[in-house]
Structure 1
Amino acid sequence: MELPKVPIGERLKTLRKSRNLTLDEVSKITSVSKPMLGQIEREQSSPTFNTLLKIATGMKVPLSYFMESNDFNYKIADIKDMKPTLEENGHMRIFTMIPYDPIQNFEMFCIEIDPGCEHKSQAHQNEECVFIMEGKIELRLVEETIILEKNQIIRFQANINHSYSNPYNEKCVIQSILFYPIL
């Protein structure tokens, strides 16, 4: 089955207008020229991956915002049909369950963490909610270690270095929701 073409230009224009930015302002924060941004918005040019990455980084949105279709009334996601992003040599698998949408300002992931795996996350300007679906995990927030077990949830500001560690004998599965601040 062929995936629908994602209207990158339309998404860029919607995002820019939702933040009341001009093309000049977007050019300054993304380091992409104003003429190129205009061509992308009018669907006269398809950006390269690096250009799209510059735009996503400058606009502070995930790259997935420009790459995944959200043209639906409802959508059922099945993890077995998804290709995960691999971290920690494949011992941590991240599945995008709900891609980022600038109107809703959140995205949701299902993350599988193998026994013995530790993942260190740099500080970022999000709020995180983590729900433990299977197993248990050690969450380290700066110097404090919190042990979370199945059916527990934690909500925290992620503007500090933090890490997820599974020193236990079974896989841990978590649901992670990232909330983005409204700019």
Structure 2
Amino acid sequence: MNHDELAEVLRTVGGRLRTLRRQRHATLDDISERSGISPSTLSRLESGQRKYTLDLLLPLAAAYGLPLDELVGAPPTGDPRVHLRPVAVPGQDQTVVSLVRHHGGPHAHKHVLPTGATTASGQGLHTHRGYSWIYVLHGRLRVTAGTRQVVLAAGQATEFDTRLPHALGNAGDRPVEFLSLFGSQGERMRVVTSWEEVPGRQPDDGGGPETG
């Protein structure tokens, strides 16, 4: 890692830590209990006001169940493969696999909730800044947001503003698997429906979506 890469990693560590904690629906007190680092120190780390040292980063990596290089967003070392690492969410009976390595913009995850499990904590529904899009791969998922709820089956999707008190729960008799796209800045998916005809392609040769 050269000097410029190191400077970029250090510049973004605080934001990565804050985003990671919010994605896990954890408070500073939750992470403090798991890492042994005081909430005030965690807050200064997230805001970039505290120097990042190994004696702070190593306990945080253990608390989040992530390798140190992934926690801080270190650049790849030449291995082009994508290494998916399932992690358990603190205080919740669910497994999450991050599908992207970047820090900024929406993040994609795969989730597995066992039978009877929910993302609601002992303090009830979650609320935080952002926007979430959910797609169910297998099983049935109950999504509660504000005063409304919906049960999704495999192949169905929904979206909601995470500023509403919300929780996700297994609504079936087997584990439910689903994908989530979450934007901490409120980014929303925009489906593009304006297709253009490809010059020289006939409608029946597989060149575009069917019409009619």
The number of aligned residues is 144
Does 2:48 match 1:48?
no
SS of aligned partner of 2:119: strand
Q: Point out the structure with the larger strand share.
A: 1
Superposed CA deviations along residues 58-116 of structure 1, whole A, max 9, x for unmatched, are xxxxx99752345489965465xx23224556x311111113422xx121111001111
Aligned partner of 1:97 in structure 2 is 99
User: Could you list the runs of 5+ residues in structure 1 that have no partner in the other structure?
Assistant: 17-26, 54-62
Q: Is the 8 A contact 2:113 2:177 kept in 1?
A: yes
Aligned partner of 1:167 in structure 2 is 171
SS of aligned partner of 2:182: strand
Aligned partner of 2:8 in structure 1 is 10
Distance 2:54 2:83 in 1: 30
Instruction: Give the counterpart of 1:68 among 65, 73, 85.
Output: 73
Aligned partner of 1:135 in structure 2 is 139
State the percentage of identical aligned residues.
10
User: Could you list the runs of 5+ residues in structure 2 that have no partner in the other structure?
Assistant: 15-43, 62-67, 187-212
Superposed CA deviations along residues 18-44 of structure 1, whole A, max 9, x for unmatched, are xxxxxxxxx8x82725xx4xxx6xxxx
Query: Do the aligned partners of residues 133 and 154 (structure 1) sit closer, same or farther apart at CA in structure 2, a change above 3 Å counting?
Result: same
Query: Do the aligned partners of residues 31 and 72 (structure 1) sit closer, same or farther apart at CA in structure 2, a change above 3 Å counting?
Result: closer
Let me know the Cα RMSD of the aligned residues: 3.8
Provide TM-score, normalisation by structure 1: 0.61
Query: Do the aligned partners of residues 152 and 73 (structure 1) sit closer, same or farther apart at CA in structure 2, a change above 3 Å counting?
Result: farther
Greater Rg over alpha carbons, structure: 2
Q: Which amino acid aligns with 1:106?
A: P
Aligned partner of 1:83 in structure 2 is 86
Distance 2:77 2:134 in 1: 26
